Amino acid sequence: MTSSTEGAPPKDQDVTMTEPSGVSSPKELRNALYARCASFEEGHVFNQDELFAFEIIPDNSVEKLLAYTKQLAKDGLFKLMTKDGKACWKVVKRADAIKYRSLSQEEALVYSYIEGAAREGIWSKLLRNKTNLHMTTMNRAIKSLENKNMIKAVKIVKYPNRKTYMLAKLQPSENVTGGPFYTDGVLDEEFVHQMSLWTEKYIIGRSWWHPPLPEHKKKSSSKMTQEQAEELRAAELRQRGHGRDRSKTMLPMHPGYRGFPNLSEVTKAINGSGLSGVTMKESEMGQLLDILCWDGRLEKIRHGKAYRAIKQVDGEDGVELGNALTESPCGRCPVFDFCEEGGPVNARSCEYFQEWLQF
């Protein structure tokens, strides 16, 4: 084996894949190891066994592996980590490594803690406590990193007045941004309103039967062609698929109806509607459905696995009216499930029920 002077890989050239049989020097072995690791998905963490599996380290020598990874870490191409108490490594892109090597000692320290905070970001006060830097020194380092487009300031919904920083290449987590219902840290009330209306109409269309329009009733099936009948049916299905509002007649579905939508179906429908510019997650739609349930517009059925729209009883002026069930004590009784004939709670001896009948 011939020897050569060890050094960092060229900064201005990309490392290409090198077959183990064609390498001999430590520098070439390090380049081959880095290239093999760089071919994996970004963020992959490699343990010792995975690096040995590449069959690049001669004789699977632990000493040589540690020497190569140590030099790669020194060059900024590997990041040393620990997982389950064991050493592991993550690849750093060459361009990022070059930027990192150009940092001052204070900038590198600040950057390392911001990088460790990942998508959650780190509060400036906590950053100062961890780095133990003077406020002026830390602010200077932060300003320099921002000018180099390596970090950015983000606003946390829960703590809008806190200065929080994260890597510029990362997207903040939902804990930071508040999810799709927030824009620049502020609740988008109009978006929430439109999403609520669409969701409610969709579930109404799956919860209640809406009779055909009057003009449909006047058409005799004997006078309609097969094509007209199919077109009418398709139009009715399209209208039902987009949901109905409460201005339409709402009649109960047939006994045994099982078409009430669940969370997955509602999420798929809202994503297919094009109403939201981002793909909604089930957890996010679950929050919206909970709000509609709390507002009395929807209710959970089948042990919370499906949703059904609640039919409101409205007067001619649009004012919500009560009905026999909502006005009677039974409809609001907190011990309704325990009410039975001859039991401690029963309709015969219920003073509230007798009072309601007299009223």
* pLDDT at residue 307, rounded to an integer: 92
* pLDDT at residue 118, rounded to an integer: 81
- Does the pLDDT of residue 17 top 50, yes or no? no
Place of tokens 């045994």: 256
* pLDDT at residue 18, rounded to an integer: 43
* pLDDT at residue 262, rounded to an integer: 93
* pLDDT at residue 343, rounded to an integer: 73
* pLDDT at residue 264, rounded to an integer: 92
pLDDT band, residue 47 (cuts 50/70/90): confident
- Does the pLDDT of residue 241 top 80, yes or no? no
CB 309 within 8 A of CB 207: yes
Q: What is the mean pLDDT of residues 252-257?
A: 78
The top-scoring range by mean pLDDT among 115-124, 205-214, 260-269 is: 260-269
Structural tokens at position 45: 């963490």
- Does the pLDDT of residue 163 top 90, yes or no? no
Q: What is the mean pLDDT of residues 7-31?
A: 56
Residue pLDDT, tens place only, 137-152: 888 888 988 888 888 8
Residues sharing a CB contact under 8 Å with residue 77, sequence separation 6 or more, in sequence order = 9, 34, 91, 92, 94, 97
* pLDDT at residue 155, rounded to an integer: 81
More confident residue, 298 or 101: 298
Cα distance between residue 59 and residue 184, in whole Å: 55
* pLDDT at residue 274, rounded to an integer: 83
- Does the pLDDT of residue 66 top 60, yes or no? yes
Residue pLDDT, tens place only, 271-315: 888 887 778 888 889 989 998 998 888 988 888 889 988 876 554
- Does the pLDDT of residue 181 top 70, yes or no? yes
More confident residue, 181 or 55: 55
Predicted TM-score (pTM) of this structure: 0.46
- Does the pLDDT of residue 91 top 60, yes or no? yes
- Does the pLDDT of residue 320 top 60, yes or no? no
- Stretch among 8-17, 47-56, 90-99, 285-294 having the lowest mean pLDDT: 8-17
First to last CA, the chain: 104
Instruction: Specify the DSSP class assigned to residue 279.
Output: P
* Residue 273 phi, psi (nearest 5): -80, -25
More confident residue, 90 or 311: 90
Residue pLDDT, tens place only, 321-354: 555 555 566 766 666 666 778 777 777 777 777 7
The top-scoring range by mean pLDDT among 171-175, 218-222, 355-359 is: 171-175
pLDDT band, residue 265 (cuts 50/70/90): very high
* pLDDT at residue 277, rounded to an integer: 77
- Does the pLDDT of residue 233 top 80, yes or no? no
pLDDT band, residue 261 (cuts 50/70/90): very high
More confident residue, 36 or 232: 36
Neighbours of 33 (CB within 10 A): 27
**% pLDDT > 70, the chain:** 72
- Does the pLDDT of residue 95 top 80, yes or no? no
